[in-house]
Amino acid sequence: MRLGYHSITWGGVTGDATGVTSVKDLVYKVPGSMHRALRDIAAAGYEGVEMFDGNVADFADNPGELRSLLAETGLSLVSVYTGANFIYSEILPDELYRVRRAAELAATFGAEQLVVGGGARRAAGTREADYDRLAEALDTVTGIAEEHGLSACYHPHLTTIVESPEEVEKIFTRSRIGFCPDTAHLAAGGGDPAALIRRHPDRIRHVHLKDLRRDPFTFLPLGEGEIDFADVLAAVREVGYDRWLIVELDSYDGDPAEAARISKTFLDKALS
């Protein structure tokens, strides 16, 4: 297995404000410097990077800049992360427009995976039909990814309609999309990350690793929280997954480069 890191830590999750009034333009973005992020990730010893769709889009008009940065750092762009509501029929075409754009950019820069989150929770409460709508949209996303030579995987996420193990089960009985388990989000949703990996062995396309402390709630570098990574890594091996492990830490109080080094040291020991 190869180790990568998400650029999210260099500024956290933000979005393009134009998306408030123009759904087709709503992307995830990290406000920090991608040049610094990729250089720090490489210096920590990782081989790959995952980026948000909005940050990759920043290089669309000058693709040579990102290619040069990847060559300089020796990193592979492993995956691009995007997301959408997916349950509202009126805006779905514009959301799929964004997903297609993300897939085009991912393919342009040699990525393997299109990672997708989403499934909005309605103010009036979730309807059972929302899972059918989400699943149908995710199948369309899978097709878009395949058209661009990519594999698509779904990332269950807090604040969406797929948080708990029961909700994970609902979506994977309805959609053919792959599974990107995120250890901290699955644990925070009440699940056992290792058990969910074992539950869906043929679905695993990509893996996100981060640690978790429940009280007070915070995401942490690997080895600094409550998650049993020995069991998680054992489960990953048992299901035959042998591709990328991506550390994806939303934020860090100190230097993000320090957080990357902490997790790399932990993984090197855990995998040895």
Band of pLDDT at residue 240, cut at 50, 70 and 90: very high
Give the pLDDT mean for 124-152.
98
Q: Which domain holds residue 81?
A: 2-271
Give the pLDDT mean for 113-129.
98
pLDDT tens by residue, 166-224 = 999 999 999 999 999 999 999 999 999 999 999 999 999 999 999 999 999 999 999 99
Amino acid 125: pLDDT: 97
Q: How many structural domains comprise the chain?
A: 1
| CATH code, domain carrying 129 | 3.20.20.150
Residue 11 is encoded by which pair of tokens?
């500024």
Amino acid 167: pLDDT: 98
Amino acid 52: pLDDT: 98
The pTM (predicted TM-score) of the whole model is 0.97
